[in-house]
Amino acid sequence: MLLALETSCDETSAAVVHQGRVVSNVVSSQIRLHAEYGGVVPELATREHLRNLLPVAREALSQAGVAVNQLDAVAATRGPGLPAALRAGFNAAQTLAFTLRRPLYGIHHHEAHLYSPWIQGTPLAAQFDQFQPNVSLIVSGGHTLLILVTAPLQHRVLGGTLDDAAGECFDKTAKLLGLPYPGGPWVDRLAAEGNPQAFDFPRPLLTDPGHDFSFSGLKTSVRYFLQKHPGLAEDRKALCDLCASVQAAIVEVLAAKTVRAARQMGVSLVTASGGVTCNSGLRRELERRCQRHHLELRLAAPSLCTDNAAMIGILAERQHEAGMAPSSPDAEVIPGWSLE
Ligand code: KG4
Ligand code: ZN
């Protein structure tokens, strides 16, 4: 029985996992709090984590019907993320592990995302018996990564963003259009009513042979476009067309490069997770391209696309079972931890 905590950004989450099964997964989102400021305010995020962590952990234990002294191990996100936010969860986990004399697993947040597409079913369980080597796309507000996963616990980063993350591009576009934060879901909703071919936006690095991404130029071209067409966003039809056109540009780059990487790496499976994987256009486009190239596709369930402790727990338990060394009792968080 393992308790996992996740506090790297603006979700406070705790989960209990046991033998690959997610027994409970409680997520308390701070989105509404940060919306007022148009982005995550680190000090507020930390304050909320400190306020919510204990109730959230207690709720996860209670839903699982587990007492703390029944835990065999504790895990928490060690990085990357907001330094003080990470510390809130990691230090709590450290104290608990020390008090219970149990091992503590300090987990890499992005590595954990790789396993969320494998958590499926009712009840939620990791389907590692169906594991196949895959190319995994992790797309959220803070990260855009393409990773080759050869076996559970074994991966190699193929590429990442050179500037903005894909979610950032969605959010900044939405901000330019006067939509609330976080803008990704708004763009998605409005895009559903728009024509994706109405306006032509660049597809950065689409034909570049590497596996990296770049989204800041696309965001800038939306800004210039709006300067040239003032008032356009006030017209509902034009707003929907604009959202559909920008979304089409982001989604084409993400889906095309992911599928191309899978084919180049010789794997037959594509997986995806992270908040942007909730985007209906991206889910559709990945499906379409995977089908065309006879690739299998495993998308994280929308509730597990965004940050959660279930994925942290599933990975930590796997490390525990594989006999990997836990973190040392005086380990520190690693806010800038990059995946290798
Ligand atoms: O994984 P996540 O919850 O947090 C991190 O950034 O780690 O991802 C949040 C990001 C935000 O940029 C949000 O706008 C984006 O995911 N997002 C979406 C959608 N839902 C969430 N972007 C596009 N379409 C969506 N439906
Ligand atoms: Zn994340």
Read off the pLDDT of residues 89-118 as tens digits, 9 standing for 90 and up. Answer: 999 999 999 999 999 999 999 999 999 999
Instruction: For 256-275, give one letter per residue: b (16+ CB within 10 A) or e.
Output: bbbbbbbeebebebbbbbbb
The ligand placed nearest to the CA atom of residue 187 is 1
pLDDT of residue 32: 82
Beta strands at 134-139 and 269-273: parallel, antiparallel or unpaired: parallel
Distance of alpha carbon 185 from alpha carbon 317, whole angstroms: 32
Name the residue of 190, 306, 308, 337 whose CB sits within 8 Å of the most ligand 1 atoms, as the mutation to test its pocket. Answer: 306
pLDDT of residue 179: 94
Task: Check if 278 has its Cβ closer than 6 Å to any atom of ligand 1.
Answer: yes
CATH second-level architecture of 132-301?
A: 2-Layer Sandwich (3.30)
Distance of alpha carbon 101 from alpha carbon 293, whole angstroms: 50
Strand order in the sheet with 2-6: 104-108, 73-79, 2-6, 11-18, 21-29, 125-126, 119-120
Ligand 2 geometric centre to CA of 235 (Å): 34
pLDDT tens-digit readout, 256-304: 999 999 999 999 999 999 999 999 999 999 999 999 999 999 999 999 9
Task: Check if 142 has its Cβ closer than 6 Å to any atom of ligand 1.
Answer: yes
Per-domain residue ranges of the chain: 2-126+304-321, 132-301
Distance of alpha carbon 21 from alpha carbon 1, whole angstroms: 10
Joined tokens for residue 232: 């356009």
Name the residue of 140, 179, 253 whose CB sits within 8 Å of the most ligand 1 atoms, as the mutation to test its pocket. Answer: 140
Record the pTM. 0.95
- pLDDT (tens, 9 = 90+) of the chain, 340 residues, equals 999 999 999 899 999 999 999 999 999 988 888 888 888 889 898 999 999 999 999 999 999 999 999 999 999 999 999 999 999 999 999 999 999 999 999 999 999 999 999 999 999 999 999 999 999 999 999 899 999 999 999 999 999 999 999 999 999 999 999 999 899 999 999 999 999 999 999 999 999 999 999 999 999 999 999 999 988 889 999 999 999 999 999 999 999 999 999 999 999 999 999 999 999 999 999 999 999 999 999 999 999 999 999 999 999 999 999 999 999 988 999 999 999 8
Ligand 1 geometric centre to CA of 247 (Å): 13
pLDDT of residue 278: 97
pLDDT of residue 40: 84
For ligand 1, atom 23, name the residue with the nearest CA: 184
2-126+304-321 and 132-301: identical CATH topology: yes
Domain range 2-126+304-321, CATH class: alpha beta
